[in-house]
Every structure is written in structure tokens, then in C-alpha cells.
Structure 1
């Protein structure tokens, strides 16, 4: 699930943005900040966002400085930043922050939604992390650390190299979000990370942590075809 931040010193702008986002998708977590300082301090505590709508002219610490903090101090080049401003032209220094877009005030609902959709698409395409909600917090796990997913009704279990998490989502939606990476559906209840497979048998797969994952009869051919494809890719 994508986590969004809104940062503007104008309360009405923050409220408008929050309402547009939640009207588009009530499940999207939105955090609101009224100064660059509060946003920076919040991120210093380890909190991260997938998308930030950030005012350029925001006060003592402006939007450019916040952007530079995210890119340079946090070395975060994944978070998408959309600058908002009442100005019609933008300083060249903004491009150093690698913004996703610039949106003028007054805000346009369709443009806000387009940027949310674009951010989702790009984040999934880059596919460096997998995000989910656990214990009322958004977590992002590096793809390479995920061993496999196991589904039980609507509850998912994520087994990583270091921890195990539980969260609510269907196996179909998880598989869709992982469609561009090296994951295989071996069974209606399992999705495994190909890079963390140790041994592939006819009807089972042994993962690097020793867990044995079943391969259903319906998936044997798919698993074999993907195995051949990935091995051919690695030999190039």
C-alpha cells in the first residue's frame, strides 16, 4: 500500500489535497505536515513515504531544501516528489531533486489523481521494495529479502530473511504487485521468490531457509518454464 505525505503551510491546501486523495482511495494512508521542519524530523525518525506532495514556498525550510534532504541526507531516490506552487515558472535547482512533476495552484483534482497513478506505476515498475501495512504502520521490505508469501483466507504471511510479517491482502493482489519481479506462484496459497530458492523438485520447492513449499499439479509446467527462462537470463 502506498503511503503519501502532504506538506504545505496553508491549511486549506493540505485539507484539499487530503480530501482529493482519500476521495480517490480511502485506503491510502495520508500524513499531513505544515512545515518542512516537521516533515524532515518525522523522516529522521525512520518514517518513509512513497509519494510526497510538497509546497515549494513553505517557510524557513523550503521545498527545495526538503527535497535535497530526502535525496542527499537520506539517500532516498525512490520516494516520488510532486512540487506544488502558485508560481508559473520553476528554478533550475529543483531539477536536482528529481521531482516527479510540478503542479500549479489552484489545484486540479484530475492532475492530482494522475500523479498518484503515475507514482504507483513507477514504484511497481522499479520494484525495489514491497510495501504493506503491519501493526498500523507502513513497512517496506527490499524485494531481495523476501523468501515467500503464504496465504490463509485474506491474511498473508510474508517470510523474509530476518522476520515474518502478517498483513491483510489477497494472494491475487500481491501477485499482481510482484508481476515484474522474479516471483513464482507455485500453489494457490504460495508465492516464492525465485532468487531465494535452493532446490526445485517436481512437486515441491526448498527455500534457502529450509522451508518446503508445495507445487500444485496445475503449476508444475509454469514453474518449469519460468525456471528455464530465468536460467537462460542468467547465462547471458
Structure 2
């Protein structure tokens, strides 16, 4: 699944690209920004950004350079009217370039290229779990979180919810090497899928909200910060 940003000072272009993205099955989230400053202030975790080169104030090249200071992994696809645009983007390591006007086929081709590259460069980690439906195999990144309810573990995944007869302590210890952490005694969450923290609520990428206990708040926030720093290199 892809989390995608659009950064373009033309409202019509943002809406056009957004419309294409929302119809693409593997795009799970889309967020729009009308200038480079707004995108940089957000510092959200995105897999891909469609970035306009010719913007007022801070252009797309400078925005791209600043992005690379804190995020080495995001795929940058430049969108522009400018001729000979590639010469402007030295040092940004853009993944691709699209010329305006942008068509649906252009966006789909860019998304397919990003997905193919991600599959080649990211080695999935699979674990087996003894669920009530039998022994099942899951990609670690497909697991959102574990929740302990009524003496069993609810494992929330992209494939649905599965049930385990284990103790939360056992699950938390098993998942610790894979960047899972406990924000609450009854939960163990995948840091990869933490979208935001608001007060004592953790917003997950699947729109679920997980509680953050006051007792574990400082340690969990520190773990998340360390994880994000490692993620962006």
C-alpha cells in the first residue's frame, strides 16, 4: 500500500492528480499541499510525492533538496511545464518526471514503477502465527497491531482480524525485533503504521485509534522518534 503526497501550487492540478490517485487500488492515503513550505512543515511519512517544479516562493527543486536532508527513501516524481527539466534536479535523486498536462495513464505508470521498485528493493519478513483458523503466515508489514481482549489476542492485519491464544507479553517479545512497541498494556503496535499521536490517542494508518497510556507515553514516543530517525537515514 502507498501513502502519496501531492505538492503543487495549481489547485486544478492537485485535484486532477488526487482524483487519479484515489481510484488506484494500492493507494491507501493521499494528502495535498499547495506549496513546498507546507509539505516540509508537515514532515509526514509518505512513500511517494508528486512535486511541481515551478512553484512560487520555494520551487520544487529547493523543496526536493530539503526533503532529502531528512528523508532519503521517499520517491520524488517531478511534475512540470518546464522544458529540459531534468537538468534542474541534480542532487535530488528524483525517481521520475511527468510533463503537464498530466494524464491518468501517466500517474498509473508512475505508481506501477514505484510499486515494482519497492518490491525489488524491500525484502518482506514473514512470520507464522497459530490462529484459531490454523497456522497462518503474514508479512510483518501487513500487521497493524495486536490487542488483548477477553483472554485472547486480536491481530489486526490488512487481511482482516485473526485471533491468537497467547499472552500479550509473549507477542510483544516476539515482535520487538520487527519495530513493534507497546503503548498500552493491552496493545502492541507496528511503528510502521503509526500515522500520528494526538494527546493520548495513536492514529493508525488503517484509521483505527489505539490508546497511549500515560505511564508508557514517554518511552513509546521516544521509541517512535528513534524508529523514524532510522527510517529516514
| TM-score of the superposed pair, with normalisation by structure 1 | 0.55
Task: Name the count of aligned residue pairs.
Answer: 155
After superposition, the CA RMSD in angstroms is 3.7
1:149 Cα deviation (Å)?
A: 6.1
Partner of 1:14: 14
Is contact 2:50-2:79 (8 Å) kept? Answer: yes
Partner of 1:126: 121
Partner of 1:112: 107
Q: Per the alignment, in what secondary structure is the counterpart of residue 64 of structure 1?
A: helix
| TM-score of the superposed pair, with normalisation by structure 2 | 0.56
Is contact 1:149-1:158 (8 Å) kept? Answer: no
Partner of 2:53: 56
Partner of 2:95: 100
1:62 Cα deviation (Å)?
A: 1.1
Structure 1 gaps, min length 5? 131-142, 172-188, 191-205, 212-236
Structure 2 gaps, min length 5? 147-154, 165-169, 176-233
Is contact 2:7-2:33 (8 Å) kept? Answer: yes
Q: Per the alignment, in what secondary structure is the counterpart of residue 103 of structure 1?
A: strand
Show CA shifts across 1:153-190 (max 9, x none). 7xx99879xx955543229xxxxxxxxxxxxxxxxx99
C-alpha spacing 1:149/1:82, structure 2 compared with 1 (3 Å): farther
Q: Which has the higher Rg, Structure 1 or Structure 2?
A: 1
C-alpha spacing 1:118/1:92, structure 2 compared with 1 (3 Å): same
CA distance in 2, matches of 1:8, 1:89: 19
Q: Which consecutive aligned stretches of 4+ in structure 1 deviate over 6 angstroms post-superposition?
A: 156-160
- 2:56 pairs with 1:67: no
